[in-house]
Each structure stands twice: as C-alpha cells, then as structure tokens.
C-alpha cells in the first residue's frame, strides 16, 4: 500500500514555517483554499504535486519570483494572480507583509479542463479582476458568523472561482469589446501596458479613455479590482523597474529618474525611499553586493 501523497499545503507550511490563517477544502471536489499573511523574507518552495492558483490580496507590492539568473524584473502587486504548475520548484522574495490566497486543484480535474495548458507553465503577476473579486467575496463570507447557509454560499463561491480558473483566459474579439461599458479585458490590457512600459506617461485620462469610462469611474473600478489607485499602480511599476536598473546598469540616478518620468532626481529619491525603505544609492550598493 502506497503512503498518502503529501499535499501542497503541507509543503508550503513546511517552507514558510507557519500555518495558514484560514484553510478549507473539499476532497470530493478536488480543491483546497488557504489564506497566508504576515510573512517576510525569501523562500524556496519544492515542486508541488498539484497546480496552485494564487491571488495577491493585500500587502506591500514588492513580491518577486526567482527566474533563471535573478529575481524577476516585474513584481506582484495587490490584485495580481499567479499560477504555479505542478512539479516546478519556485523561489520567492517577500519584501514586506504579504496577504495571499492560494487555491490548489487536483491534477486530475485540471487535466480534463479546457484550459489545462495554462497550468503547465508558470504565469507570474498577471491581471485577473474577476478572480480577485471572487476571492475577496469568499474571504468576506469566511469571516461571517458560522451557519449552514454560510457554508453553502462559501462552497458555491469557491466553485465559481474554480470554474472561472478552469475556463481560462477568454478575451473577446476586438469587435465584441464594448465601446462605452467597462470590461475586465480592457483593465487587463491597461495593467499589462503599464508593467511593460512604466516609463510612459500613463495619465489617468489616458487610461480611462482606453477603458471607455470616465476618469472618476475608472478610479473606482481600478481600486476595487487591485486594491490600489491607478497612480499608485503606475508608481509601483516605475519603482520596480528602477530597482532593476539600479542593480543591472550603471545609469546615473538622474538618468533613471528622467527615464522613468519623475519630475526630478529628488522626487525619484523620495518616492523610492517611501516604497522600498531606503534611498536608491543604498539599494544599488546592497543589490550589487548580493549579486557578487
């Protein structure tokens, strides 16, 4: 008789050295949901037996994953999702308190899903507004007074989240995108553009126009989906790129500040210190010492 297979959650608990704040699951339906909070540092996770879908709920936006030769250039911010495939060890850098929800789903279920391919590779820090909204609703119900009705509702919401994940990304064709109503596809596109080119202006008016809504409505939608304002999201993307440039290039601080759209080097230094906790010059020295 073979010993029982170790679960994703047991492996993560061992790696983090702590239990999740909340955990629930259904063996019959093949899922297990956990909420993890208040851990800081760098961690290595061994290969997990089942894929994991995670949602970055709250905390500082300084979560990175290890790539071939260093920490990822992009970082996860509240409102981002990540897929970790089965059988792939991963490394994580958590530079500030983190609040994340993980949903493990059995490989047997995923192999029969239409979107099974998306769980066979790592997808880090991508936008998923609907996944975030469903996850937040699950958490809101978990902390409600216990009752049989609440348990049924929580299970239904988790199954809705699972169905959303199993369906996979289904962006509409360009002609199907509404010209005036807001769509999650447009929000995803805007967030991806900011992460890819943080040095561009990305004004509120420009982003709202791309989404097809007013500036005030876009602010409300963006904050509800990500937990931060559009301005904060752009600023974090620029500072994340700045960290990469500080360690991987010899660009002067004034050049980096100008390239990333800051009004001056002093503005860049103040913003960097506020978000990272140290001035850019100290970060550059520490980063290069670590690389060496």
What percentage of the chain exceeds 90 in pLDDT?
Answer: 26
Q: pLDDT value at position 83?
A: 92
- Could you read off the pLDDT of 12-22 as tens digits, one per residue? 999 888 899 98
Q: pLDDT value at position 185?
A: 66
Helix pair 215-226, 204-211: axis angle to 10 deg: 80
User: Looking at 98-102, 177-181, 250-254, 259-263, which range is the least confident one?
Assistant: 177-181
What DSSP letter does each residue of 92-105 carry, written as one string?
EEE-S-EEEEEEEE
Is residue 173 very low, low, confident or very high in pLDDT (cuts 50, 70, 90)? Answer: very low
CATH topology classification for 176-292: Arc Repressor Mutant, subunit A (1.10.10)
- CA angle centred on 58, ends 54 and 64, rounded to 5°: 60
Closest CA to 52 of 71, 65, 67: 65
Overall residue count recorded for the chain in this entry: 292
Q: pLDDT value at position 289?
A: 57
Residues carrying CATH 2.60.120.10, the chain: 8-167
Q: pLDDT value at position 133?
A: 83
CATH topology classification for 8-167: Jelly Rolls (2.60.120)
pLDDT at 176 exceeding the cut of 70? no
Buried/exposed code over 42-75 (b: 16+ C-beta within 10 A; e: otherwise): ebebeebbbbbbbbbbebbbbbbbbeeeebbebb
Average pLDDT along the chain: 82
Are 215 and 205 in contact, with CB atoms under 8 Å apart?
A: yes
Is residue 287 very low, low, confident or very high in pLDDT (cuts 50, 70, 90)? Answer: low
pLDDT at 110 exceeding the cut of 60? yes
């Amino acid at each position: 008789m073979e010993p029982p297979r170790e679960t994703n959650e047991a492996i993560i608990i061992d790696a983090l050295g702590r239990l999740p704040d909340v955990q629930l699951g259904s063996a019959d339906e093949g899922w297990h949901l956990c909420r993890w909070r208040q851990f800081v540092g760098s961690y290595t996770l061994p290969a997990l037996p089942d894929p994991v879908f995670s949602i970055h709920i709250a905390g500082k936006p300084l979560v990175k994953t290890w790539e071939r030769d260093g920490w990822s250039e992009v970082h996860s911010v509240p409102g981002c999702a990540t897929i970790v495939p089965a059988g792939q060890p991963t490394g994580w850098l958590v530079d500030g308190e983190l609040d994340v929800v993980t949903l493990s789903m059995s490989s047997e279920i995923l192999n029969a899903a239409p979107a099974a391919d998306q769980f066979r590779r790592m997808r880090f820090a991508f936008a998923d507004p609907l996944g975030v909204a469903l996850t937040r609703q699950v958490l809101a119900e978990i902390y409600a007074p216990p009752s049989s009705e609440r348990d049924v509702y929580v299970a239904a919401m988790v199954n809705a989240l699972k169905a959303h994940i199993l369906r996979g990304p289904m962006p509409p064709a360009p002609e199907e995108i509404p010209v005036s109503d807001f769509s999650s596809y447009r929000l995803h596109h805007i967030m991806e553009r900011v992460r890819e080119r943080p040095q561009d202006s990305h004004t509120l008016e420009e982003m709202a126009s791309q989404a097809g809504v007013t500036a005030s409505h876009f602010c409300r939608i963006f904050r509800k989906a990500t937990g931060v304002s559009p301005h904060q999201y752009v600023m974090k993307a620029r500072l994340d790129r700045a960290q990469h440039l500080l360690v991987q290039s010899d660009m002067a601080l004034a050049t980096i500040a100008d390239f990333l759209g800051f009004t001056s080097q002093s503005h860049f230094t103040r913003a960097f210190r506020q978000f990272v906790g140290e001035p850019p010059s100290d970060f550059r020295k520490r980063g290069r010492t670590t690389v060496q």
